[in-house]
Amino acid sequence: MKSAIIIILLTLLTSCANIPTIDELFDRESSQAIDRSGNIMKIVVIDVGQGDSTLIISPEGEAMLIDTGNYIAGKHAILPLLEHEGIDELKYIVITHYHEDHVGGLAAIKMGHDEFDQTDDMQPTGGIYDRGAPTPTSIILDPSYALYALANAGYRESTRVGEQLDLGSVTLEIVASSGLLADGTKVEGVDPEDENASSIALIIEYSGFRMFVGGDITGGGGSPPYQTPDVESELAPLVGDIDVLKVSHHGSKTSTNQRFLDVTTPEFAIISVGENDHGHPHASVIERLLDSGIEIYQTEAGALASDDPIVADGNIVIEVNDDGEYTVNY
Ligand SMILES: [Zn+2]
């Protein structure tokens, strides 16, 4: 019965628009050569098409994922990358929110890839962290959420804002979840059904290097009735100075507001984006980032109409040494 439900859900999910073909995903470049020498933390913003998935490997070789792309990306982009990196065990998976382009790959990852002899090995040893079981029926009945809930039964942990996850010598601090911030503030207007605004946001820190990853968290942009709650402005002082920004919501115009950039002052911005009908990344976001002196890297072009960002057409790799010095490559 459970497998029948999974097959029905997978059929629904893989019939959605904007999912990259298997050929497209297989054709993409993998990350640069593996170098485990030295005390290097490696972060890979994985090219999952239109979606999000970030792999973190600590200097000690512990690994985790933040988000899992969609189902096809999970199977044909994330699992091959784990194989390439020699990772046969994940410590954590953090799911920022329950939209299909962030959560859909979990079932594929947990099932493993026959070609790589990955079976059930991909069950995270430290748990799968999310923002907790939602109550709105619109979320519970969503096929992506239903498949997710089936796939992670027994391993699910709820995040608490202010909590810290340790991945070897790398720390991840949860600074927002469901509109609640690490200082106890509840951001006004964050509806329990608003998946984007409810995203988990966290800071990855190693040897003074700091990177923000916030799922599809919103910054107050958009016009009624699509105006979004401004989580970013209240969150910015808690985030403080960062080196790298994983741009929220694939460069949507409703995120990455000027106050967030002014307070967090990143040097690099990474946009995870694929073919889409949403206008991601939006020209106004690219302009704000460039006007703030921030160098932009994108996994794919998406709706980009400018030559300024660097389009990797593949994974983007950040490596940080134990002096906090870092490089961004693709
Ligand atoms: Zn998304």
pLDDT in tens, 260-280: 999 999 999 999 999 999 999
Q: Which amino acid is at 312?
A: A
Phi-psi region of 166 (alpha: psi -120 to 50; beta: other; left: phi over 0): beta
In this structure, what token pair is assigned to residue 290? 């460039």
Q: How far is the CA of 271 from the centre of ligand 1 (A)?
A: 11
Cα of 136 to ligand 1 centre, how many Å?
19
The pLDDT of residue 270: 98
Q: 281: cis peptide before it, omega within 30°?
A: yes
Dihedral class, residue 43 (left if φ above 0, else alpha if ψ from -120 to 50, else beta) = beta
pLDDT for 117 beyond 80:
no
Mean pLDDT of the chain: 88
Residue 282 Cα, ligand 1 centroid: separation in angstroms?
Answer: 14
In the reported structure, the alpha carbon of residue 60 is separated from the centroid of ligand 1 by a whole-number distance in angstroms of 30
CA of 199 to the centre of ligand 1 (A): 10
Q: What distance in angstroms lies between residue 273's CA and the mean position of ligand 1's atoms?
A: 9
pLDDT of residue 154: 80
Q: Do 222 and 214 touch, CB atoms closer than 8 A? A: no
Residue 101 makes CB contacts below 8 A (sequence gap 6+) with 48, 50, 51, 52, 69, 70
First-to-final CA distance of the chain: 43
Q: pLDDT at position 33, please? A: 45
Could you tell me the distance, in angstroms and rounded to a whole number, from the CA of residue 252 to the centre of ligand 1? 9
Are the C-beta atoms of 96 and 214 separated by less than 8 Å? yes
Q: Which residue type, as a one-letter code, is found at position 304? A: L
Q: Helices in the chain by DSSP H: which ranges?
A: 2-14, 22-27, 71-73, 79-84, 100-103, 106-111, 137-140, 143-151, 231-239, 258-264, 283-291
Distance CA 154, CA 168 (A): 24
pLDDT at position 57 is: 97
Which has more pLDDT, 97 or 155? 97
CA of 246 to the centre of ligand 1 (A): 12
Return the closest-CA partner of residue 232 out of 210, 249, 255. Answer: 255
d(CA 137, CA 141): 6
* Distance from residue 70's CA to the centre of ligand 1 (Å): 10
Distance 221 CA to ligand 1 centre (A): 16
Whether 15 shows a pLDDT value over 70: the answer reads: no
Q: Where are the alpha helices (DSSP H) in 265-318?
A: 283-291
How much is the pLDDT for 134? Answer: 81
The pLDDT confidence band at residue 224, using thresholds 50, 70 and 90, is confident
Tell me the CA–centroid distance for residue 40 and ligand 1, in Å.
29
Residue type, 9: L
The answer on pLDDT for 217 being more than 80 is yes
Ligand 1 mean position, distance from CA 125 (Å): 26
Tell me the whole-structure pTM to 2 decimals: 0.89
Would you state the pLDDT for residue 118?
59
Report the candidate in 191, 197, 185, 186 with the shortest Cα–Cα distance to residue 222.
197
**Average pLDDT rounded to a whole number, residues 133-144:** 85
Among the listed ranges 188-192, 208-212, 219-223, which one has the minimum average pLDDT value? Answer: 219-223
What's the 15 CA to ligand 1 centre distance in angstroms?
17
- How many A from CA of 249 to the centre of ligand 1? 5
Residue 33 or 329, more confident: 329
